Amino acid sequence: MGMLVDGKWTSKREQEDKQGRFVRPSTTFRHHITADGSSGYKAERDRYHLYVSLACPWAHRTLIMRSLKGLTDIITVSIVDPFMGDDGWFFSDYPGAISDDVNGAQYLRDLYIKAEPSYTGRVTVPILWDKQTGTIVNNESREIIRIFDTEFSEFAKPDVDLYPKDLRQSIDETIDAIYQPINNGVYRAGFAVKQEAYEEAVTELFEALDHWDQVLGKQRYLCGNQLTEADVCMFTTLLRFDPVYYVHFKCNLRHIWDYPNLSGYLRDIYQTPGVKETCNLDHIKQHYYRSHPGVNPHGIVPLGPVMDLDREHGRDRLYH
């Protein structure tokens, strides 16, 4: 994908180090929203707008949290086209996409330039936009879901808390633990340009999946028997694993459906009220298989696999 350099769009490939390992650049807009406004950004109804891709696992986290917390009428949303070509993310009338009615942007990069005319960096989703000041507040998914979870209590469902005080250390440690080998691990495998880097990533990925499958054989969720932010972060990778990462990124030692506990856990989260409606497998497959010509030169999108995510999981009876 391309990137902006001093506010100008330029073609640039994914980043890798000298060993051929994919290196994910850091996000750059890291402001915080607080309930009392002490951060300079106050949690308010209809002040903030979320820009996402239904295909992107990082952006998907924010959509799930927005839904679970009951913020769909509080925080508006725009959804880009699933295809990301030479010009990056863009808005269209593709089924499931939602145009930008806030800024009228054609390309996602227009928003970065509006927020910072001399911006240099990648143009990524999600974006949390402040309509009042006309700028990007934050583009780091982990921080956005925390903002939604903790700072919009006045407007959110009061009984939904995915960052409970007694589990906060465990949640933070778990999100850290799954990030490099799993969430980012699939990309490290898929975008590796040397055999050794690919094998390193895949080995670490499946060691981590094996570990968490064992954990989920003893408890319903990653941090115990309560749904937390950590589960949201794990779910968006697992959802894309069998239809995309197994084939497209060559993460093919095992499917998620081969794991007795991870597969049931995936269905459990998917069937949680508020989650299913944020999932779009068409956008997911259209994006990955068409947007990475270095991985899939002809852009052929596979018809399968058939995923019965509505099948009974039984985890609510096993762990309660």
Active site includes 251? no
Instruction: Establish whether 187 is a catalytic residue.
Output: yes
Within 13 Å of residue 49, how many CA atoms lie on the same side as its CB? 20
Angle at alpha carbon of residue 312, lines to 311 and 314, rounded to 5°: 155
Torsion sign (Cα): 302, 85, 90, 178: positive
- Which residue do the tokens 């407007």 mark? 155
Phi, psi of 144 (to 5 degrees): -65, -45
Placement of tokens 């009392």 in the chain = 36
CA distance 136 to 118: 14
| Active-site residue identified among 56, 233, 251, 279 | 56
**Residue 51 belongs to what H/E stretch?**
strand 48-52
Q: Which of 48, 112, 187, 198 is catalytic?
A: 187
CA-to-CA distance for 174 and 162, rounded, in angstroms?
13
Q: What number of helices (H) and strands (E) belong to the chain?
A: 11, 6
Cβ atoms of 230 and 222 within 8 Å: the answer is yes
Kindly state the tokens that stand for 158.
């009061």
Instruction: Write the single-letter amino acid at 165.
Output: K
Instruction: Return the number of other C-beta atoms located less than 10 Å from residue 95's C-beta.
Output: 9
Q: Which of 210, 147, 146 is nearest to 178 (CA)?
A: 210
Residue type, 157: K
Distance of CA 297 to the CA centre of its chain: 25
126, 193, 194 from 16: Cα distances, Å: 22, 8, 10
Q: Hey, which residues are catalytic here?
A: 56, 187
